[in-house]
Amino acid sequence: MRLKLPLTPEQEREVAEAARRGAIIIFPTDTVYGIGSGDPNAAARIYEIKGRPENKPLPVLHASKESAKQGVDWTPLAERLSAHWPGALTLVLRRGAGTVGVRVPNHPALQRLLEAGPWISTSANLSGQPASRTVVTLPGVDYVLDGGETGGVESTVVDATGEAPVILRQGAIKL
């Protein structure tokens, strides 16, 4: 189903609930269009739709820093860098034996949806292709949220597991 932003309150509830139940959503962010779900069990579908290698973990989008801190090893470096949130910065942090990327996007419509819970997410494009600044549709997606053109530059990805930042991908935020 394709919906034009802004969503009505009823549409917001519908999309948020569908995401929690595992629906795959394409949505605008402050950077590029994303694809995601509020159900971590939907990861296999996202990998399949994108053709993404399963050894590339999916980042998690949150509505707030307080939410992003849950379940990760929140470092002093992460605390300092989170001053860029909401915004185009993905922090890689330890979670259990591995790591996870977390981000608080600066997009009001998306933030309202994320208030119902975090979403696993990645860019809405086929793996290896450029990320899109305009709405896209991919086979197997349940909802497409059309918010017009986005900022167009992907988030900066920083490993914040240590004492010094390690830039893994230079993006919209220059550190």
pLDDT in tens, 94-108: 999 999 999 999 999
* Model confidence band, residue 163 (pLDDT cutoffs 50, 70, 90): very high
Residue from 106, 114, 90 nearest 151 by CA: 106
Residue from 143, 134, 135, 74 nearest 102 by CA: 74
Cβ atoms within 10 A of the Cβ of 55, count? 6
Backbone angles phi, psi at 8, to 5 degrees: -75, 160
CATH number of 2-169: 3.90.870.10
- What is the mean pLDDT of the segment spanning 48-64? 96
Q: Cite the DSSP H helix spans in 43-142.
A: 43-50, 65-68, 76-81, 108-114
Strand partners, 102: 60, 91
Residue from 109, 115, 143, 117 nearest 35 by CA: 143
Contacts with 69 (C-beta within 8 Å, 6 or more apart), sequence order? none
- For strands 25-28 and 33-37, give the pairing: antiparallel
Q: Is the pLDDT of residue 152 over 90?
A: no
Q: Decide if 1 contacts 144 (C-beta within 8 A).
A: yes
Q: What order do you get walking across the sheet with 119-123 strand by strand?
A: 2-4, 143-146, 25-28, 33-37, 119-123, 60-61, 98-103, 89-95, 156-159, 166-169
Kindly report, residue by residue over 17-31, the tens digit of the pLDDT: 999 999 999 999 999
What are the structural domain ranges in the chain? 2-169
Does the pTM exceed 0.85?
yes
Kindly report, residue by residue over 104-141, the tens digit of the pLDDT: 999 999 999 999 999 999 999 999 999 999 999 999 99
